[in-house]
Amino acid sequence: MSDEHDDELRARLRAVDPAASLAPADPSRVARLLEDTMSNDLMTETRETGTHGRSPLTWLVAAAAAVIIAAVGAFGVLRHDAGSDQPPSAARDQTPTVTELTGPSGGVDAKCMVPSAAVLGQATLAFDGTVQKITDGVVTLVPSHVYAGPATDVVTITAAPEAMQQLVGAVKFEDNGRYLISSTNGQVSVCGFSGPYTADLAALYDEAFAS
């Protein structure tokens, strides 16, 4: 076939280009997208830079989380030893495992990156759960599916009153609401990484934690 025929075919294809009517991207959005992208440097993150700037509270929470995990583990081991005395399920029912998280540190108006599976996949805990109760400063959720992290019966999220306002503003917890929550080092991730259950967010979680 000649070039002329190719040109004709290309022109006909171009006439049905679905992106032909796409408006150029807003420059401020482009600038934000670039900045968000460059704020990610997980591949070259060293231990030193990766932990730089975290507040003492983060370390406290991480330490508390480690204690809880150790305690849960020890409980499991001890319970296993005492297993001959009573059925394991009964013991489990009496003492549900609780995973404690805290609200985000810093304002939720801090710069957010575009939620992506690659970043979400770094979360240490991620689950699909329903709010059981909200009392002052504590949201209690019952996970129905744990994507990442240790299995747990209940997850509590605590935050200082003023931070709770921000957390509620960021995630809008409601009684009996279904949520997808992810956290890193005991802190709930906001900025679109946690939120009310939607098919889109669930797809992101599926992708992030697909094995």
Partner 1 sequence: MDAETRRDRFEAVAPGLIEPLRRFLARRTDAATADDVLGDTLLVCWRRLDELPDEPLPWAYGVARHCLANADRGARRQQRVAARVATVDPPAATAPGPGEADGGPDTGLDEALARLRPDDAELLRLWAWEQLTPAEIATVLDITANAASIRLHRAREKLRAELRKTSGVAGHEGSREGRTS
3-state secondary structure of 18: coil
CB of residue 69 vs partner 1: minimum separation in angstroms?
29
Four-CA torsion 154, 155, 158, 163, nearest 10 degrees: -140
CB of residue 18 vs partner 1: minimum separation in angstroms?
5
Cα(first)–Cα(last) distance of the chain, in Å? 48
Closest to partner 1 by CB, 96 or 196: 196
3-state secondary structure of 136: coil
State the residues that interact with partner 1 by CB under 8 A. 1, 5-6, 8-10, 12-22, 24-25, 30, 33-34, 36-38, 40-43, 113-119, 198-200, 202-204, 206-207, 210
Instruction: Read off φ and ψ for residue 106, nearest 5 degrees.
Output: 75, 165
Tokens of 88: 């394991």
Closest to partner 1 by CB, 93 or 200: 200
CB of residue 168 vs partner 1: minimum separation in angstroms?
24
CB of residue 130 vs partner 1: minimum separation in angstroms?
16
Contact call for residues 122 and 101 (beta carbons, < 8 A): no
